[in-house]
Amino acid sequence: MSKAPFILAIESSCDDTAAAVLQGNRVLSNCIANQEIHKQYGGIVPELASRKHQSNIVPVIHQALRQANIDKKQIGAIAYTQGPGLLGSLLVGGSFAKSLTMAWQIPLLEIDHMQGHLLVHFIKEVHQSPPKFPFIGVTVSGGHTQLIWVEDYFKMTVLGTTLDDAIGEAFDKCGKHLGLLYPAGPEIDRLAKKGNPSRFKFPKPKVPNLNVSYSGIKTAFMNFINKETNKNREFIKENLADLCASLQKTLIEIIIEKIVLSVNLKKNYRVVIGGGVAANSGLQNILIERQKKGDWEVFIPPLAYTTDNAAMIGIAGYFKFLSHEFGDLSSCPNARLKF
Ligand code: KG4
Ligand code: ZN
């Protein structure tokens, strides 16, 4: 029998309460309780998110243990998301993880959520052969947009980041302006497939180096929509697919231009993406096209591992376990955790 430890992973950085059980690099269960409550507010309400985590966390952990078909006595360590994220949400998962490690007398593993989004590629069933180090990591989510030079599991250096909003935030806020429910990213993606991406032009920011900015396009998009709906109240309804396709094209071009720059700078052609926006079909198509042309070697996670999940925290925990990087009970969640 394999000696790899069973790791229980807990993720509660934002609005999803998630728990997973891994044995070594294999995922035995990966459970998520989504918080539908935020839809009616058009975005995440932090106070409501932490309350929902409180009520979801016990059932989700039970479910993860049940699906993995193991007894809690077999768990060898607990990995939890230390940050970045919403403090109230992080505190729920963090306090729960710490209490369990005390009760079960097992080690605690503190995980950076953004590192988890990239390390998901090392889960056994994700790729036949995982990416080799070093590579260009691209994290695109609701809270982050980063280009990262990844030399080892935890040797990561940020090459560029957003100066304001994250790409997912731009998808969601522009989508809200179109009347779409939160999170609007997946719906824009779906509608964009039926639209003309060249129909409307939105300005792209001129940001030096490898940084990006998404607040300018968000404002330009909203001003454009307001102007057009003042002229024609049916403007959104009549042009929804084209608006989504044109917006998505611009949002993606901004990050693709910076991926090209980082690849050239580092002379490294291995591009590994992670985070909720990695599920976007437009972004994936461009990356796959590059791969087909032989320009880049591209790694895209399967859908279940793009948006927030606990398996990504578990795999990061496994590598920390192997290198004996254990947390202690005085560790604290950090909303602005940086690596
Ligand atoms: O990684 P994630 O689940 O949470 C954060 O860590 O932020 O990412 C959530 C973000 C949301 O902004 C959501 O709209 C976006 O990922 N998203 C998408 C798609 N699926 C999720 N954006 C564009 N296209 C998608 N298919
Ligand atoms: Zn995330």
* Alpha helices per DSSP H over the chain: 46-68, 87-104, 113-119, 167-177, 185-192, 215-231, 235-266, 281-292, 311-322
For residue 157, pLDDT beyond 70: yes
Distance CA 215, CA 173 (A): 10
Distance CA 80, CA 116 (A): 10
Distance CA 119, CA 117 (A): 6
Specify the range with the lowest mean pLDDT, choosing from 33-42, 241-250, 258-267. Answer: 33-42
- Number of Cβ within a 10 Å radius of residue 160: 23
Q: Decide the pairing of beta strands 75-83 and 297-299.
A: unpaired
pLDDT above 90 as % of the chain: 89
Among 169, 277, 281, 286, residue to substitute to test ligand 1 (most atoms within 8 Å of Cβ) = 277
Q: What angle do CA 42, 48, 51 make, to 5 degrees?
A: 155
Please tell me the distance between residue 203's alpha carbon and the centre of ligand 1 in angstroms: 22
Q: In what order do the strands lie in the sheet with 108-112?
A: 26-34, 16-23, 6-11, 75-83, 108-112
Q: Which ligand is nearest to the CA of 279?
A: 1
Beta bridge partners of 27: 22
Among 141, 190, 193, residue to substitute to test ligand 1 (most atoms within 8 Å of Cβ) = 141
For residue 48, pLDDT beyond 90: no
Confidence of residue 40 (pLDDT cuts 50, 70, 90): confident
Protein residue with least CA distance to atom 13, ligand 1: 185
**Checking phi first, is residue 108 left (phi over 0); if not, alpha (psi -120 to 50) or beta?**
beta
Please tell me the distance between residue 102's alpha carbon and the centre of ligand 1 in angstroms: 34
Given a contact cutoff of 8 angstroms between Cβ atoms, the answer to whether 187 and 180 are in contact is: yes
pLDDT for 2: 55
pLDDT for 43: 79
pLDDT for 49: 84
Please tell me the distance between residue 117's alpha carbon and the centre of ligand 2 in angstroms: 7
Confidence of residue 79 (pLDDT cuts 50, 70, 90): very high
Distance CA 22, CA 317 (A): 9
What is the signed CA dihedral for 47, 48, 49, 53, rounded to 10 degrees? 110
Of the chain, the end-to-end C-alpha distance in Å amounts to 36
For residue 245 the two structure tokens come to 């396709």
Beta bridge partners of 187: none
Global pTM reads: 0.95
For residue 41, pLDDT beyond 80: no
Position 13: which residue type? Answer: S
For residue 62 the two structure tokens come to 């039970």
Ligand 1 atom nearest the C-alpha of 281 is: 26
Distance CA 280, CA 175 (A): 14
Distance CA 195, CA 190 (A): 10
